[in-house]
A = this chain, B = another copy of it.
């Protein structure tokens, strides 16, 4: 199966490329290095240097014997997308090519405009490219659990059956997000769902929770193959950030009351979910939606787990509640369903003290590179 990865340089894009390449898929990656440029712009540096895609694919070929094709350019430009599809006509496209940071999307007007126009522009180009070159190609789009927000009823898997005044209708589950980034993902869903209905596209939308971790089966012996590991508040996901804070002796900064609850997953499970989705594609004319996470935690839960594991490693790990820079519910109902991917065969890697310990030990080995000023960034929502 030929798989094209939009955003193949990202935190998840590159590990996905290796994982599928190792699994016998023919893989191509496309990226504009947007994330790298934005990280430079806001001075948010990965814990270690990450080689570019040419260097990574060369290292991967040396390690595995497999070749990954690289396209560098802006997927928001139609001519570039056309060039790719003329050269490499995929059976499936995985769409990660979005400005991925919620805080960055709230940074200022320019960042909001970039997030809006990049994320929707790339999605539109992808739709038109598939329509023009390969209408049966399976689009796997990374959505986010954040699209749902925190409603006071159960979060179903993508759809909601509504009984109203004696009549019945199945709707896309109503979405209401907490950042502009997440709102652009809602719009991606609007856009894909529209063209699925019009043009019978086949689309899987993976509503993913925050991902943590670094180690995958493909990179464990070669640091050149590691993905970005951001620990700042802008591009670092919360658990990765807490791990570095613990290693650095910096208090774990919990926003507000800390009872904000979300569904999390290990990066290994992201890769498994993607592979399972490819092996069991959506039907023609189907928008198939999975909620992609394996277990739910509050921020307090995560902070306590990192603290306990840190203490086992003889680290002193204080927890500090700070004023919440975001506008979000700090106490809320949260009961999201997530059975679809397990039915496809997902065997979750749950968060354990052992996994946390490995992450903290890794951060300790890079402790001399941690820049404390990077962590707390004061991007305010209002």
Interface residues in chain A, defined as those with a beta carbon under 8 Å from any beta carbon in chain B:
78, 109, 112-113, 116-117, 120-121, 124, 128, 151-154, 160, 162-165, 167-169, 171-172, 174-177, 180, 183, 186-187, 190-191, 193-194, 197-199, 327, 333, 381-382
Contacts and interface: CB of A to CB of B under 8 A. Distances in A.
Given A117-B117, A120-B120, A153-B164, 11 more contacts: A116-B121, A151-B169, A152-B167, A153-B162, A154-B165, A154-B167, A160-B174, A176-B193, A183-B190, A187-B190, A198-B327
Nearest to A187: B187
Contacts of A112: 124, 128
Contacts of A121: 113, 116-117
A187 B193 CA distance: 13
A169 B154 CA distance: 10
Contacts of A175: 190
Contact of A174 (B116, B163, B171, B381): B171
A154 B160 contact: no
A178 to B, nearest CB: 9
A341 to B, nearest CB: 22
A171 B191 CA distance: 20
A183 B174 contact: no
Contacts of A151: 169, 171
Contacts of A168: 152-153
Contacts of A180: 194
Contacts of A167: 152-154, 333
B177 A183 contact: no
A108 to B, nearest CB: 9
A61 to B, nearest CB: 35
17 contacts: A78-B109, A78-B113, A109-B128, A112-B128, A113-B124, A116-B120, A151-B169, A153-B165, A153-B169, A160-B174, A167-B333, A176-B193, A176-B197, A183-B190, A186-B190, A197-B327, A198-B382
Contacts of A381: 198
A285 to B, nearest CB: 11
B109 A116 contact: no
A177 B162 contact: no
Name the residue among A112, A168, A381 with the largest chain B CB count within 10 angstroms: A112
A113 B381 CA distance: 29
Contacts of A191: 116, 183, 187
Contacts of A116: 120-121, 124, 191
Nearest to A131: B109
A81 to B, nearest CB: 10
Contacts of A193: 176
Contacts of A152: 167-169
A165 B382 CA distance: 34
B177 A174 contact: no
A170 to B, nearest CB: 9
A133 B57 CA distance: 49
